[in-house]
Amino acid sequence: MAKIKIKQIGSPIRRPAKQEQILIGLGLGKMHRVVELEDTAEVRGAIRKLPHMVAIVE
């Protein structure tokens, strides 16, 4: 399966707890951290919930 790189571009400070939990679930938590995950529907759905906090790195 294909891989996708995700970079955290927004801070979870003063955000709902649910959004912070999604970040932690993606393996993020600190600014400008990049993780490489499998490109699945679950990961894509989490990215869609946080468009203001994460970006897809090419």
Residue 1: pLDDT band (50, 70, 90) is: confident
Residue 58: pLDDT band (50, 70, 90) is: confident
pLDDT at residue 14 in the model: 95
Q: Tens digits of per-residue pLDDT, 5-33?
A: 999 999 999 999 999 999 999 999 999 99
Q: In 3D, which of 2, 1, 43, 3 has the Cα closest to residue 23?
A: 43
The verdict on pTM exceeding 0.85 is: yes
Task: Measure Cα distances from 17 to 23, 39, 57 in Å.
Answer: 10, 25, 25
Q: Identify residue 25 by its one-letter amino acid code.
A: G
Architecture of domain 3-57 in this structure: 2-Layer Sandwich (3.30)
Chain-centre distance for alpha carbon 4: 11
Q: In 3D, which of 39, 50, 31 has the Cα closest to residue 5?
A: 39
Separation CA 17–CA 58 (nearest Å): 28
In whole numbers, what is the pLDDT of the chain averaged over residues?
96
